[in-house]
Amino acid sequence: MAMAKAGARSARTTGGARDRSAATRAALVQAAIETLREAGFAGCSAREVAQRAGCNQALVFYHFGSVSGLLLAALDDVSERRMAAYRPLIEGHGASLPGLAAAAREIFAEDLAAGHVKVLVELIAGAPSVPGMGEQVAERLAPWRELAEAAVRGAVGQSPLATLAPVKEIAHGLVAGFLGLEMLAELDGSPAAALALFDRFAALAALVDQAGLLGQQGLMVLLARALTSREGEGRR
Amino acid sequence: MAMAKAGARSARTTGGARDRSAATRAALVQAAIETLREAGFAGCSAREVAQRAGCNQALVFYHFGSVSGLLLAALDDVSERRMAAYRPLIEGHGASLPGLAAAAREIFAEDLAAGHVKVLVELIAGAPSVPGMGEQVAERLAPWRELAEAAVRGAVGQSPLATLAPVKEIAHGLVAGFLGLEMLAELDGSPAAALALFDRFAALAALVDQAGLLGQQGLMVLLARALTSREGEGRR
DNA sequence: GTCTATACTTGGATAGAC
DNA sequence: GTCTATCCAAGTATAGAC
């Protein structure tokens, strides 16, 4: 998928030329991420990005066809690298809710610092100005949503919590939360509030995990009782 | 605050001229909202907006000084009108958690349909491309965050839930959730997933409210016990 | 593959007529 | 207050030299 544009390169280039080409592409992609982060989608002109990459503006069009092509390649790059980093994290600790919370916190702190979620946010927000881009961005977001779903399923799939809401819904909320927290962190100029919320989530997860001792015999029964008994509802 | 730019109008204009001026300003603001919604921040040129408003491009600069000035005025307009609509909703039903959930659902459904949250999302995302705009947007978001905080305080302030997380944190998460759900709804081309999540939230709120019968004597004791008793932790 | 040069378009912003 | 006309800056994209 990241190689979708590789055809732009001749199949017979020499090794050195290929290296240089790859280096240029990589530099442009990195510069695009940086520009998206610092100047937003609206600040991402071919000239601006090329300048940061230390190369010529025309190379954006040679390698990626258009500015939006470059931005999508940047999203691919971030996605691929981050996905590779997160999957083991989630598959490792993800069997428990506290593990998921801790993993999510680490991931998010790292991504806030590196601006990875910002790339996504900017592309989602900027997409409507480029015909057809919304679908392209949605395609690239899909694996993330699946990863979130898998993480939630692994963490609460067989616990009583799963009966409170479908895994898909919880995952949707999680992804939305990531995006929203990123925007607020950007606006506030600080990720503190977002990280505090994650810490709180981790603490609550630990609490629920211990309450999980109650399991079907405890927590669930309690909730079920609350759901069914409607007689004493005079609470003001 | 919405009158900040009123000085652009002479103090001695005739009644008719003032009406026309106000109408033009209003048309531009409405067109800006519509453009932000359909083409995003990056698609909001003075020419594009003016065309939708059915007036001349130069009037953007006459009335608002700059394109970003117009966009901020659009945000002011949305904020003011929506705030007026929500405050009674929240103050009316907000004394209970289910009331808050129901109110939030109504608000959000309306705003999704009208694109009000989109305006905010686009301005937050687009802000980094205009020097100083981030602060302006943050200022305008502040009342919303306070409203969310007041709503949360009113709904869970004296309930056992409030001891699980500070009201400020919950409110921060709520606002982030609104923003993130808006982005996903936009990308999906459908608010269904967001609304389903709100419905779930409302259902859980009703559940918690009924569990609130347990109050300090029930739910809290349970949670406290889970927090302190660590001896039987052999749960696999 | 990369550069320079350039054609063309769009956008921000202002001057001046009405 | 609104419009036309216009200037200028910035952006996309391509052609052609190296």
Q: Which nucleotide is nearest to A9 (CA to C1')?
A: C1
Residues of chain B with pLDDT > 90, as a percent, come to 58
Q: Which nucleotide is nearest to A8 (CA to C1')?
A: C1
Helix (H, G, I), strand (E, B) or coil at B9: coil
Q: What is the pLDDT of residue A9?
A: 45
Give this prediction's pTM: 0.89
Q: What is the pLDDT of residue B214?
A: 54
Per-residue model confidence as pLDDT tens digits over A142-173: 999 999 999 888 888 777 778 889 999 999 99
Q: Which nucleotide is nearest to A22 (CA to C1')?
A: C1
| Average pLDDT rounded to a whole number, residues B52-59 | 98
Where is mean pLDDT largest: A9-23, A193-207, A208-222?
A: A193-207
pLDDT, mean over chain A: 84
The region, left, alpha or beta by phi > 0 then psi within -120 to 50, assigned to residue A190 is beta
Residue of A nearest to B171 (CA): A197
Question: Could you give the CA distance from residue A147 to residue B72 in angstroms, rounded to a whole number?
Answer: 37
Angle between helices B67-93 and B116-126 (to 10 degrees): 130
Q: How far is CA A38 from CA A34, A69, B163, in A?
A: 6, 19, 38
Q: What is the pLDDT of residue A31?
A: 98
Segment (H or E) for A128: none
Q: What is the pLDDT of residue A4?
A: 43
Residues of chain B with pLDDT > 70, as a percent, come to 81
B216 touches strand C (CB under 7 A): no
Q: Where are the alpha helices (DSSP H) in chain B?
A: 15-39, 46-53, 58-64, 67-93, 97-114, 116-126, 133-156, 167-188, 192-211, 219-228
Q: Which residues touch strand D (CB under 7 A)?
A: A 44-48, 57-58, 61-62, 66-67; B 8-10, 13, 17-18, 20-21, 23-24, 55-59, 62-63
Query: CB of B123 within 8 Å of any CB in chain A?
Result: no
Question: Could you give the CA distance from residue A107 to residue B156 in angstroms, rounded to a whole number?
Answer: 30
Taking an 8 Å cut-off on Cβ atoms, the answer to whether B39 and A229 are in contact is no
**Are residues A191 and A130 in contact, defined by beta-carbon separation less than 8 angstroms?**
no
Question: Could you give the CA distance from residue B23 to residue B63 in angstroms, rounded to a whole number?
Answer: 11
Question: Could you give the CA distance from residue B236 to residue B132 in angstroms, rounded to a whole number?
Answer: 53
- Mutation target to probe the A interface, by most A beta carbons within 10 A, among B129, B161, B217 is B129
Question: Could you give the CA distance from residue A232 to residue B183 in angstroms, rounded to a whole number?
Answer: 41
- Mutation target to probe the A interface, by most A beta carbons within 10 A, among B36, B41, B188 is B41
Q: What is the pLDDT of residue A204?
A: 83
Q: What is the pLDDT of residue B71?
A: 98
| Average pLDDT rounded to a whole number, residues A193-197 | 96
Q: What is the pLDDT of residue B234?
A: 36
Q: Tell me which residues of chain B, numbers 46 to 75, contact chain A at a CB-CB cutoff of 8 Å.
A: none
Per-residue model confidence as pLDDT tens digits over B3-14: 444 444 444 555
Q: What is the pLDDT of residue A19?
A: 84
Q: Within a 10 A sphere around the Cβ of A14, how many other Cβ atoms?
A: 9
**Are residues A163 and B145 in contact, defined by beta-carbon separation less than 8 angstroms?**
no
Query: CB of B231 within 8 Å of any CB in chain A?
Result: no
Q: Give CB contacts under 8 A, 24+ apart, made by A46-55.
A: A46/A70, A53/A24, A53/A27, A53/A28, A54/A27, A55/A24, A55/A27, A55/A28
Q: Tell me which residues of chain B, numbers 169 to 198, contact chain A at a CB-CB cutoff of 8 Å.
A: 169, 172-173, 175-181, 183-184, 186-189, 193-194, 196-197
Examine the pLDDT at B128 and tell me if it is beyond 90.
yes
Place of tokens 């929506």: B82
Q: What is the pLDDT of residue A226?
A: 44
Of A39, A165, A213, the CB nearest to B128: A39
| Average pLDDT rounded to a whole number, residues B97-126 | 90
Dihedral angle at the C-alpha atoms of B82, B83, B87, B88, nearest 10 degrees?
-50
Q: Give CB contacts under 8 A, 24+ apart, made by B129-134.
A: B129/A39, B129/A40, B129/A41, B129/A42, B129/A43, B129/B41, B130/B68, B133/B68, B133/B72, B134/A186, B134/A187, B134/A189
Per-residue model confidence as pLDDT tens digits over A42-60: 999 999 999 999 999 999 9
Q: What is the pLDDT of residue B230?
A: 36
Higher local confidence (pLDDT), A206 or B110: B110
Examine the pLDDT at B29 and tell me if it is beyond 90.
yes
Tell me which residues from 28 to 87 on chain A have a beta carbon below 7 angstroms from nucleic acid strand C.
55-59, 62-63
**Are residues A178 and A112 in contact, defined by beta-carbon separation less than 8 angstroms?**
no
**Nearest residue to B56 (alpha-carbon basis) of B65, B47, B64:** B47
Degrees to nearest 5, angle at CA B34 with B31 and B38: 135
DSSP A65: S
Per-residue model confidence as pLDDT tens digits over A117-143: 999 999 999 999 999 999 999 999 999
Examine the pLDDT at A8 and tell me if it is beyond 60.
no
Q: What band does B174 get if pLDDT is binned at 50, 70 and 90?
A: very high
B187, HSE (Cβ side, Cα atoms, 13 Å): 30
Q: What is the pLDDT of residue B8?
A: 43
